[in-house]
Chains A and B, each alone.
Chain A
């Protein structure tokens, strides 16, 4: 919710930070291989993480213990997400499945497996009633639980990251052809296209800022690019590092950006930033 920062890495641990102060709050150990993604629940009481050990772990924040571990993926777990109420963990793996794990019961197997993708899942996002997945097969799939529909939009190149806009009407899709696309959620029409960055190899994140006015994306040239959402013009490029900017996270309410590069997380904000 903007107060904490979770990092995960190849040291098989997750770390919880206070990004504003730069202090490490806690370290969670338990994964067998590197941790590829982590997400916190809405109440900050739980953390889920997925790693190269093909397992999805549910952590208790305060005790630092693994509450539950879900094994079932056949490959590395690329991405994990809680649903709004932290009752379900949705994890996407390179085994091309998305699995929905029940946090409430002790069931060891997933509630549902979404195996429509033809290739690895690179990104998963959830809204109140939707599961949005981006897959390396170049498709963005949106599972709408409310209407019981699966919408599959073909993008073409492998998708690295997807995210909903804050209003839930559009979907931002980053793909390996160095393009961000803004798609209409309902029709799949292309509303905007943003280019200029370089994204050909890595799984890079894309973000929308807190007001949906700009879209941002990490780049392999060490910059973070921001475009105006409406006009599609490049608004800003932040030189972060020499190397690849791996991950991005925007503060949900404040103009505040977390950027992860090789072994380093930096927090960017406007000069006038006032911490809450």
Chain B
């Protein structure tokens, strides 16, 4: 605010001294260049910036040791008289003068003045130092702090103190109690790690309790937050071995107690140690024995192996820190009420979770069946009339792989009662208990568990959807009953279908169904209607009849379903393999068989992602299909072909089979790949044919079926994961093998074509059902009759065989879903999880989606192919029948239905003809 005037200069304040006015003619002095600036030390020596302790080279007297007089150890005294007051040589004794000077590392001449030092020692700092002294790797090193950085109180603190602040108080206006805490005293320097909050705050809080209300207090002092940066590479919360414990053992601990116990003492550590009578400087606390250390024996004596725990045992109640040499106060103070799951203490800033995390569920691997051998032997599972087995067998043999399917085997070996149990079906009246007796106690228990589980599932998932469910439920109980009958040699002669209760949930319906079946068996086709509930509407009645038909059909046709799934398995298996090691083509062998059968297409085709070179694309004038990828050629997949997991996944083929079959069960539409041939398909198709009729009766319902069906297999799964084998079944299987080996290879092809054509017919039905509806419906009743008669009456070997083979069917869906699940949820799981337990956790939604998608894309192709194949099959049929007419009635029925479908498809489009 000075006006500009002439006297302005007088108002200005000038700093510094003015340069001397240059005299005329005088040249400005050049500043001395840096390299010519020399420094002389006190003694006139050049360039002596450093003493020896500061990294320099000037040692002693003109680079000699000692003094002007030479090296005379100043400390030498004749020890005879003066032994006691021998002085301890400190580090200073070995320092140069320069080091002790003002700018040396240990300035002695001029240290911090006492002006600002508070008389009382800073309590906080004191504590901190003590802690640091304990925590520090070498106890006592903090003693240096006293020498190097003398405790100093800054001006700010001094000022505060003048204003009435007392140490331990907070800063700020005086407040009533319970104010929020204030900032920490910024001036306080903390060395080492933070004070444990319990130490000081706890005591303060206690004091708070009885403060009068009308008194104001200075805000509480806040313990400074420990902001010690993490500079080391140790893990979070790592604390080095506490040498006092690790090295000194018991004696060390006593030693330590002295420190911590006397934390209230204001004497510094050095004093403390002196009081103990040991000579402590910077020496002697590290590993080994210092030169000045006298007590060597201590070191070796105290640290022996016996001091360590050699056995893992429960934590001792007193001190839970085994081998953990954390600072003492953690031990004493924070004892958590709850037991720690882990040994050791909790990290700073972390607290133990109040809720234990959800326990990791561990699913034990399935118990291996007793007959399990890790090496596969091909056990052809055939029914007498199943030509498909040949194909399957051939395929399996040709691949020659170790693909034993323990799960599958065991499933084959499951007996009826087991399966029934697992499915939660009602027990057979007569002989059921007897079979339970065959089982061991353990097995029975397990069965019970499974039963419960499956029942729950069923209830949960399928309350309202009885019809579709029952259809599928019926499958396994049905052949269970069937098989049971076989095994008993016809004891149950008439029990037949009555034991099979697909509609057990609905007793009325079940009753109706039984009547229905009975009448079917007697051949009274016309009387069927009367068994149906008269109260029902026409539509309902029709539908129910369909269901009954289907159930009956299923019951019958499931006999023949088993053997040929392996073809399909093969195929699926291939697909899997391709997907995993993407850079290799699959097994030639099955392809070879496919080629032999002239089934080109899916079976013989592998598709890979292939990345053309960018330049190649350029030269071809084609946009790079993978503009982002740097890969050229086939992308390599990292999976190790020979990893343990690959071997573990041996049961995959079965699973994939079941996958396929399952899909079919779930939806006739979802027969995706035309090449998947299986017996199962055949029968299923037949059944499907009938289904389709009803489905076209009510389109909406068929939709619902699609959605409802998946859950059912899931329920089956949990039941079928069990892997008990019954020795009785083995004999049957052997028979199978013999039969198979005797058969000519021609059958194999026939079987394929038969089944494939069936498949086609069924799938084509979905699209063009009008043609087939009338015929099939008529046939239905007839076929059922045919089948039922031999089933119920006979007890011959053949049927035993079929029964055994059938047993596998119900179990198959299990693994399929597992497979799905594994695919969806990450890496493939080892087959250990193929037990039913795993399936509970699957959700079938994704699967359904998949199926539907696939189905869409593949429908069209399928149709073409199927039609083609039908023709071939027809030719074969004639021979086939002649060969084994007695063997399978069921296959006959398949044929007949096939022929139907063939008729339907004779009207092929010209395009198809051309293709052929």
The answer on a CB contact under 8 Å between A100 and B591 is no
Chain A nearest CB from B870 CB (Å) reads 15
**CA A128 – CA B620 in complex, angstroms?**
7
B634 lies within 8 A of A183 (CB): no
Contact check, B595 vs A148: say whether CB atoms are below 8 A apart.
no
Q: Contacts A138-B588, A145-B617: A154 and B633 contacting too (C-beta < 8 A)?
A: no
A79 and B3 CA atoms in complex are apart in Å by 103
Contacts of B605 in A (CB 8 A): 151-154, 187-188
A111 at the interface (CB under 8 A from B): yes
Q: How far is the CA of A25 from the CA of B585 in the complex (A)?
A: 46
Instruction: Check if A156 sits within 8 Å of B595, measured CB to CB.
Output: yes
Query: Does B687 belong to the interface (CB within 8 Å)?
Result: no
| Structural contact, A189 and B619, CB atoms closer than 8 A | no
**What are the interface flags for B589-604 relative to A under an 8 Å C-beta threshold, 1 for contact and 0 otherwise?**
0011011101111101
Q: Which B567-625 residues have a C-beta within 8 angstroms of A?
A: 585, 588, 591-592, 594-596, 598-602, 604-613, 615-617, 619-625
Please state if B616 and A111 are interface contacts (CB–CB under 8 Å). yes
Stretch from A60-68, A80-88, A252-260 at the B interface: A80-88
Give the Cβ gap from A188 to chain B, nearest Cβ, in Å. Answer: 4
Q: Is B704 an interface residue (CB 8 A)?
A: no
Please tell me if the beta carbons of B601 and A155 are within 8 angstroms of each other in the complex: no
- A209, chain B: closest CB distance, angstroms: 17
Instruction: Tell me the A36-70 residues at the B interface (CB within 8 Å).
Output: none
Docked-complex contact B604 and A145, CB < 8 angstroms: no
Number of interface residues of A (CB under 8 A): 43
- Quick check: is A223 within 8 A (CB to CB) of the other chain? no
Known A-B contacts A88-B619, A145-B617; A193 and B598 likewise in contact (beta carbons under 8 Å): yes
Residue of A nearest to B583 (CB): A116
Contacts of B360-397 to chain A: CB distance below 8 A? none
Asked if A74 is at the interface of the complex by the 8 Å CB criterion, the answer is no
Q: Does B861 belong to the interface (CB within 8 Å)? A: yes
Is A143 at the interface (CB under 8 A from chain B)? yes
Interface residue A24 (Cβ < 8 Å from any Cβ of B): no
Known: A148-B609, A152-B606. A112 touches B633 (CB 8 A): yes
- In this assembly, does A190 line the interface, its C-beta being within 8 Å of a C-beta of chain B? yes
Contact B600 A188 (CB under 8 A): yes
Interface size on B, residues (CB 8 A): 42
Contact A188 B604 (CB under 8 A): yes
**Are B598 and A148 closer than 8 Å at their CB atoms?**
no
Does B313 belong to the interface (CB within 8 Å)? no
Check B588–A187 contact: CB distance below 8 A: no
Is B600 a contact of A145 with CB atoms below 8 Å?
no
Is B622 in contact with A154, judged by CB distance below 8 angstroms?
A: no
Q: Is the pair B595, A154 in contact by a Cβ cutoff of 8 Å?
A: yes
Report yes or no: B600 in contact with A181, Cβ–Cβ below 8 A.
yes
Proximity string of chain A (90-133) to chain B, C-beta cutoff 8 Å, 1 when within and 0 when not = 00000000001010100000011111100000000000110000
- Cβ–Cβ < 8 Å partners of A111 in chain B: 613, 615-616, 619
Which of A112, A150, A156, A190 is in CB contact (< 8 Å) with B601? A190
The residues in A between 127 and 183 inclusive whose CB is less than 8 angstroms from any CB of B are: 128-129, 138-139, 143-156, 181, 183
- A235 beta carbon closer than 8 Å to chain B: no
- Are B914 and A145 interface neighbours, CB within 8 A? no
Alpha-carbon distance A10/B566, docked complex (angstroms):
51
Set of chain A residues within 8 Å of B595, measured between Cβ atoms = 154-156
Contact of A147 among B625, B633, B916 (CB under 8 A): B625
Question: What is the chain A residue whose CB lies nearest that of B587?
Answer: A154
Asked if residues A139 and B598 are in contact (CB atoms below 8 Å), the reply is no
- Chain A residue with minimal CB distance to B607? A151
What residue in chain A is nearest B914 (Cβ atoms)? A230
- Determine if B600 and A190 form an interchain contact, defined as CB atoms under 8 angstroms apart: yes
B601 touches A184 (CB 8 A): yes
Q: In the complex, what's the smallest C-beta–C-beta distance from A254 to chain B, in angstroms? A: 25
Q: Which residue of A lies closest to B913 (CB)?
A: A230
B residues 618-647 near A (Cβ < 8 Å) are 619-626, 632-634
Residue in B closest to A191 when the chains form the complex, CB atoms: B915
For the complex, give the distance between the alpha carbons of A153 and B617 in Å.
23
* Known contacts A88-B616, A88-B619; A148 and B607 CB within 8 A of each other: no
User: Given A88-B619, A145-B625, are A112 and B588 neighbors across the interface (CB < 8 Å)?
Assistant: no
- CB-CB under 8 A for A129 and B616, given A149-B608, A155-B595, A189-B600: no
Give A103's nearest chain B residue, CB to CB: B619
Are A143 and B865 in touch, CB under 8 angstroms? no
Whether A187 and B602, one on each chain, are in contact in the complex, defined by CB atoms closer than 8 angstroms, is yes
Query: Roughly how many angstroms separate A145 CA and B609 CA in the complex, as a whole number?
Result: 10
How distant is the Cα of A104 from the Cα of B620 in the complex, in angstroms?
Answer: 12
Q: Are B615 and A146 in contact (CB under 8 A)?
A: no
Among A115, A189, A191, the most chain B Cβ lie within 10 Å of the Cβ of: A189
Q: Which residues of A contact B601 (CB under 8 A)?
A: 184, 187-190
Note all chain A residues with C-beta closer than 8 A to B599: 190
Give the residues in chain A near B585, CB-CB below 8 Å: 116, 139, 152, 154
Tell me whether A148 and B612 are in contact (CB under 8 A): yes
Q: Are A143 and B610 in contact, CB atoms less than 8 angstroms apart? A: yes
Which residues of chain B come closer than 8 Å to A112, judged between CB atoms? 612-613, 615-616, 632-633
Partner of A88, one of B607, B610, B620: B620
**Interface mask (B851-871 → A, CB under 8 Å = 1, otherwise 0):** 000000000010011000000
Enumerate chain A residues within 8 angstroms of B613, measured Cβ to Cβ.
100, 111-112
What are the residues of chain B within 8 A of A189 when measuring CB–CB? 600-602, 864-865
Evaluate contact between A150 and B607: CB separation under 8 angstroms: yes
Query: How far does the alpha carbon of A188 sit from the alpha carbon of B675 in the complex, in Å?
Result: 12
Distance A152 CA – B620 CA, assembled complex (angstroms): 21
Known contacts A112-B632, A148-B626; is A154 also within 8 Å of B612 by CB? no
Which of B592, B609, B616, B617 has the largest number of chain A CB atoms within 10 A? Answer: B616
Are A150 and B598 in contact, with the CB atoms below 8 A?
no
Contact call B633/A145, Cβ cutoff below 8 A: no
- Chain B nearest CB from A166 CB (Å) reads 16
Name which residue of chain B comes closest to A193, CB basis: B598
Give the shortest distance, in Å, between B910 (CB) and chain A (any CB). Answer: 10
Residues of A within 8 A of B632 (CB): 112
Q: Which residues of A contact B914 (CB under 8 A)?
A: 230
Which residues from chain B contact A84 at a C-beta distance below 8 Å?
620
| Chain A residues with CB below 8 A from B633, complex form | 112-116
Residue contact B625 to A83, C-beta cutoff 8 Å:
no
Q: Nearest Cβ distance between residue A155 and chain B, in whole angstroms?
A: 6
CB contacts (< 8 Å) of A152 on chain B: these are 585, 605-608
Assembled-state Cα–Cα distance A16/B604 (Å): 40
Distance of A170 from chain B, by nearest CB (Å): 10
Cα–Cα distance between A200 and B613 once the two chains are bound (Å): 36
Q: Which residues of A contact B594 (CB under 8 A)?
A: 154
Asked if B610 and A148 sit within 8 Å, CB to CB, the answer is: yes
* Shortest Cβ gap from B816 to chain A (Å): 25
Closest Cβ–Cβ distance, residue B621 to chain A (whole Å): 7
| Given A147-B625, A150-B607, A187-B605: A83 touches B619 (CB 8 Å cut-off) | yes
Question: Contact check: which of B602, B609, B619, B622 meets A146 at CB < 8 Å?
Answer: B622
Task: Give the distance in Å from the alpha carbon of A109 to the alpha carbon of B334 in the complex.
Answer: 72
Tell me, in angstroms, the Cα distance from A209 to B484 when the chains sit together.
64
Interfacial chain B residues near A190, Cβ < 8 Å: 598-601
Query: Would you call A150 and B634 a contact (CB within 8 A)?
Result: yes
For the complex, give the distance between the alpha carbons of A152 and B599 in Å: 15
Closest to A128 in B: B620
Instruction: Let me know if B612 and A104 touch, CB within 8 A.
Output: no
Task: Report if A154-B610 is in contact (Cβ < 8 Å); known contacts: A145-B616, A147-B625.
Answer: no
Q: Which of chain A's residues has its CB closest to B611's CB? A: A148
Residues of B within 8 A of A155 (CB): 595, 604
Contact of A150 (CB < 8 Å), options: B608, B615, B623, B915: B608
Whole-angstrom distance between the Cβ of B518 and the nearest chain A Cβ: 48
List 15 additional contacts besides A83-B619, A148-B625; criterion CB under 8 Å.
A85-B620, A100-B616, A111-B616, A112-B616, A145-B620, A148-B624, A150-B607, A150-B609, A151-B605, A152-B606, A153-B600, A156-B592, A187-B602, A187-B861, A188-B601
The 6 closest A-B pairs by CB, nearest first: A148-B625, A190-B600, A188-B605, A189-B601, A150-B610, A112-B613
Pick 6 A–B contacts, CB within 8 A, sort by A.
A83-B620, A88-B616, A129-B620, A154-B591, A189-B601, A190-B598
